[in-house]
Amino acid sequence: MPGLVELYVRVGMRILSSPNVVESAERVARRIVDAYLAPNETFIELREMVNNGTIDLLRDFSETCRVEF
């Protein structure tokens, strides 16, 4: 739970970021919480997630930030 609180504080720094970056950060936060609440994945399932790109939780956020910079 401390990690989730820290995540919320970081997302709370909305005043310094554009609306697009804030929206992307909020999507990341929701995905992290969803992953935390989901059943554990097997190693085979994790490998498949790596192979198809679904495990990369920060890709959209990093691309949004890159566009802003």
Model confidence pLDDT, tens digit, residues 10-21: 666 677 788 898
Domain that holds residue 24: 2-68
Split into its structural domains, the chain has a count of: 1
**pTM above threshold 0.85:** no
CB crowding 27-58: b at 16 or more within 10 Å, else e = ebbeeeeeeeeeeeeeeeeeeeeeeeeeeeee
pLDDT band at 64 (very low <50, low <70, confident <90, very high): very high
